[in-house]
Structure 1
Amino acid sequence: MSKYELAYINENINTFFFFLSECFTGTPMALKVMPKASTKLQGFLREYCISLHLSCHPCIVGLFGIAFQSNEHYGFAQELVIGRDLFAVIQPKVGIPENAVKRCVLQIASALEFIHEHGLVHRDIKPENILLLDSHCCRVKLADFGLAQTRGTLIRFISGTLPYMAPELCAVALEEGQKEVTAPPLSVEPSLDTWAFGVVIFCILTGYFPWERCVTSDDFYQEFADWCQAPTVEEVPPLWKRFTPAAMEMFSRLLELNANNRSTVGEVRSYVEKDWLMPTLVDTNGLQPENGKVSATCSTPSVCRSSPVHQEVE
């Protein structure tokens, strides 16, 4: 590493990022470093190879062919993205402007389609893993392939971030006090990313999570599930009344409870020319307009940074 200059950037859970510059060419890079104590070699190599394989897409963080290990760490060099992640620009309980959301959604949909076409599934789609190259979401890039797997892989470990995890994945994750899994075996499929993508769209439009976890004990999720399963057209749940009928149709496709019937991420393109938010703020769940913004008096969870969970399937 003597021909490189290093400077600390930031860190996430069990991952450190450094600014890396090649001394002769001055090429700027970001060095992603993972402690060996919490990273298996197989997992590191999988993330590196998948990231390198997909990095040619313009909406995915690029990689350089530089990987290394020291006595205590693994690491690889990736494209330096100067900017914040998408989560950093979400105003809690407000969200970000609809036009910016749509710009972001189109780019991430393109990245996910590319990933799925290569037989892979990201498995951790969330605002923290979407990096901004500008403050208006004109250019964004999908990052962090640490949980990515090949399509069809039998799930042995539950990995992901709870609010974004699909109901079929939550069904095989043990809840507090639960002794054994009763759901059938589950394989890695693009529909897991589609569900998370739908949740991300909700979060960045509103500044709220739609629910904390897709289980029947979560009232917000159960309200949505009941609406989806109603035999006749019913009034949308209170938390969703801010959305237009077109947006609700889009959400019903992305957040289809039956994974086999869930849409592909690319279907969002047919909705981007339509309005997603109602023209006026309507309070239906303890949300009151204040000076043109929405404040919350209900227990709806506002967005917050969430760490992935890891749980072995018995």
Structure 2
Amino acid sequence: MGETQPFAGRPSELVGRQIAGYRIEREIGRGGMAVVYRAKDLRLDRTVALKLLAPELARNDTFRRRFTHESRVAAAIDHPHIVPVFEAGETDGVLYIAMRYVAGRDLRHLLDREGPLPLTTATRIAAQVASALDAAHDHGLVHRDVKPGNILVAQGTDSDHPEHVYLTDFGLTKKSLSLTGFTSVGQFVGTLDYVAPEQISGKPVDGRCDVYSLACVVHETLAGRPPFQRDDDMALLWAHQYDEPPPLTSGRPDLPSAADEVLAQALAKSPDDRYDSCLSFVAALRAAVTAHGFRAERAPTRAAGTTTPGPPQPPPEPPLWARAVFSGPGRAPG
């Protein structure tokens, strides 16, 4: 890549900047360790989602190797509910991954806006995510970071399929930072609301850790909150490992009690006690509610005093670690 210069201007000035053959159009999301842009692939003239990872991840040799390997595996999976990966690489000490740009919002935004979802909607979304996860497991790939922010919800094809769901962020698994899943300063890299007990304790993981995380997501889509909520991170980590999850019906009393048993099995502390696949879990949930003649189509309304998000705010400055990789407008990378 040609010589780069730091970017210190207003967010709107990101338009036209280039990195690794992609021209930035606008920011579409960010987390503590990454920022995602809508960008134009200058070589193939297509719109992509370009995700940049924080440099500390690139400096970790184990993570960098696993990132490269798992990105290639993910790119080889042809599945309707997995976001296609076009390219993954490194430039100026920053790892990046280019994926299909999916028009729509993620499940996090949907839950923040609407709160608990109707059972039929929640199970439709869960089934599509489960199908993607099981396909990945068949290729020897474990996601390890299943959460609402990694589930994209696009418009479906018809009234029978009102949404089309994509799972994203394969190849960005955080467990490889160390045996315990913590960075050198003791910070867990990932999303604590959905992390499986074996990930926290540093035990070997397989597809059943994704079953646990998916169950946490399903619990939130139905009850409006993940199964465990604590005042601090360490208490939350403890809860995942040792506390029993609350019954789903405690937050969603309109559902039959049979759903509690399904969620309890999917959230079992030991992987051996969980369902052996994500689709088995979703099928069991559907069977449990169907057997009890459940037909409700509406989710509970939001609690009094709950507010919906206001109009979108202007995108923030790019994170400091991302600025140095941007070149000026019109300058192609060398």
The answer to whether the superposition gives a TM-score over 0.5 is: yes
- Map of 1:255 onto structure 2: 267
Q: 1:210 to 1:28 in 2, by over 3 A?
A: same
Q: 1:132 to 1:154 in 2, by over 3 A?
A: same
- Normalised by the length of structure 1, the TM-score is 0.69
2:86 maps to a residue whose letter is F
Q: 1:209 to 1:2 in 2, by over 3 A?
A: closer
Matched, 1:275 2:289: yes
Q: Which moves more between the two structures, 106-115 or 157-166?
A: 157-166
* In 1, Cα distance between equivalents of 2:274 and 2:124: 23
- Map of 1:122 onto structure 2: 143
- Map of 2:73 onto structure 1: 53
* In 1, Cα distance between equivalents of 2:236 and 2:217: 18
Alignment of 1:3-42 (within 5 A): 4-10=22-28, 11-23=30-42, 25-40=44-59, 42=61
Check conservation: 1:154, 1:187, Cα contact below 8 A: no
Name the count of aligned residue pairs.
Answer: 262
- Normalised by the length of structure 2, the TM-score is 0.65
2:257 maps to a residue whose letter is P
* In 1, Cα distance between equivalents of 2:211 and 2:144: 10
- Map of 1:243 onto structure 2: 255
Give secondary structure in 1 for the equivalent of 2:149: helix
Instruction: Identify the structure with bigger relative contact order (alpha carbons < 8 Å, sequence gap 6+).
Output: 2
Check conservation: 1:93, 1:207, Cα contact below 8 A: no
- Root mean square deviation, CA, Å: 3.7
* In 2, Cα distance between equivalents of 1:216 and 1:35: 24
Q: 1:2 to 1:120 in 2, by over 3 A?
A: closer
Q: 1:244 to 1:74 in 2, by over 3 A?
A: same
- Map of 1:87 onto structure 2: 108
* In 2, Cα distance between equivalents of 1:154 and 1:17: 25
- Map of 2:12 onto structure 1: none
Q: Which has the higher helix share?
A: 2
* In 2, Cα distance between equivalents of 1:296 and 1:216: 30
* In 2, Cα distance between equivalents of 1:20 and 1:82: 13
* In 2, Cα distance between equivalents of 1:258 and 1:41: 30
1:147 maps to a residue whose letter is T
Give secondary structure in 1 for the equivalent of 2:303: strand
1:15 maps to a residue whose letter is A
**Residues 3-29 of structure 1 deviation map (CA, whole Å, 9 limit, x = unaligned):** 643323233223222233234642211
How far 1:63 moved relative to its partner? 1.2
Give secondary structure in 2 for the equivalent of 1:188: coil
Give secondary structure in 1 for the equivalent of 2:289: coil
Pairing partner for 1:198 from 184, 194, 215: 215
Matched, 1:163 2:176: no
2:168 maps to a residue whose letter is A
Matched, 1:64 2:76: no
